[in-house]
Structure 1
């Protein structure tokens, strides 16, 4: 794959960096997909491979809306769960399933800490607040990050730009001076819509991202090349 958006001026340097969490910093995205499938099945809704791809990167609120809607269509209004019931099931199951796989991806911690020596760094995630807090402490980044923003901190989760707008507000930087690191279409759409420059790190995903820069993952040697070019070596 290649970047889908034009890169900034060669003299551009990030004054802040905002990382996505799942699929970028830790391999929890597959666990979150299992949560969705388990909860959906409990309400009589099947999530096939194509649907799983379409839902990738969305928040629990959006997944709950989808599952409740599918249940209504399949089983009728009277038998369908409320969005709130599906949301509670998602959050409860996420705490159980995702909580068991809190390990950083290769290169993730090193990259975050290298950048934090030079610029303020944050995380912007569609996770719930409690789960995101747990993730940041589990991988040892809580003291490195300036802040982290969950889907519960803003009106709308990704692909809306709200999470990234809140992150740059908290960091006190302009969007155009900020780099976002994303692996999903929903997340890269959110970051680009908020006016950030996007480093795509798809980690094996083949879905096209809205990205200005592209690496395979934070373990890709190309990350070190980028950072050296910006005067921020690993």
Structure 2
């Protein structure tokens, strides 16, 4: 079997606990427009790129504003929340540094580029990753494999020698579709669907279990 050479991290739900913040901000935004989430809006938007979720709120939910306006206004609110307090998941920064001592690292996130950069700067992780990509920078968001394939290509590697660290259903599906070994760190409030969880090669109870030895055993 081919040994793992690089680890590609997701951001939201893995390193920062922001799924609840995203939901709160977007629900409030929709409510101000006199609308409400559809029954599956929250699930659908987890993993979507900025153009995709802003189009969902604009067209499917019907907030009455153009997708680009929706994106700009919601991202401004999210950035404000991050400036107030960055909700780092315990053990996340330590896991990045720990794996970075053995493996090359990249980041493949559904967050907007501006939010990724702000999070990494605030968390002191700007130089920890060789490549960082937002789904804004690829044709399709998760569950499509695009962002993972782009990150792996930027490292000059193949998916067979890379592992992904994910939490959400769409993230797990994206990493598996790209051909990476998949580690799942399930979110307690937003757990992945059973079919998505079944795609994981390893499920860990927390980031403290994400060790060099655990990653090495994937291949």
Question: In the alignment, is residue 159 of structure 1 matched against residue 143 of structure 2?
Answer: yes
Equivalent residue in structure 1 for 2:53, among 36, 59, 63:
63
Q: Is the 8 A contact 2:37 2:61 kept in 1?
A: no
Structure-2 change in CA distance of 1:229 and 1:151 (3 Å): closer
Q: 1:93 Cα shift?
A: 1.7
Question: In the alignment, is residue 200 of structure 1 matched against residue 167 of structure 2?
Answer: no
Structure-2 change in CA distance of 1:49 and 1:98 (3 Å): farther
Structure-2 change in CA distance of 1:230 and 1:43 (3 Å): closer
Q: Which residue of 2 aligns with 1:45?
A: 35
Please say which of residues 165-174 and 93-102 is displaced more in the overlay.
Answer: 93-102
Equivalent residue in structure 1 for 2:204, among 215, 219, 233:
215
Equivalent positions of 1:46-195 (< 5 A) are: 46-47=36-37, 50-72=40-62, 80-195=64-179
Q: Is the 8 A contact 1:27 1:101 kept in 2?
A: no
Q: 1:109 Cα shift?
A: 1.3
Structure-2 change in CA distance of 1:229 and 1:207 (3 Å): closer
Q: 1 CA distance for matches of 2:30 and 2:82?
A: 16
Q: 2 CA distance for matches of 1:191 and 1:184?
A: 11
Moved over 3 A (4+): 48-51, 229-232
Equivalent residue in structure 1 for 2:13, among 18, 23, 33:
23
1:159-183: per-residue Cα shift (whole Å, max 9, x none)?
2211111100111111011000000
Q: 2 CA distance for matches of 1:42 and 1:14?
A: 47
Equivalent residue in structure 2 for 1:34, among 24, 37, 46:
24
Structure 1 residues without counterparts, runs of 5 or longer: 1-10
Partner SS for 2:28: helix
Q: TM-score, normalised by structure 2?
A: 0.87
Partner SS for 1:152: helix
CA-atom RMSD, angstroms? 2.2
Aligned residues: 212
Q: 2 CA distance for matches of 1:33 and 1:112?
A: 26
Structure 2 residues without counterparts, runs of 5 or longer: none
Q: 2 CA distance for matches of 1:195 and 1:55?
A: 23
Q: 1:130 Cα shift?
A: 1.1
Q: Is the 8 A contact 1:36 1:63 kept in 2?
A: no
Q: 1:58 Cα shift?
A: 2.2
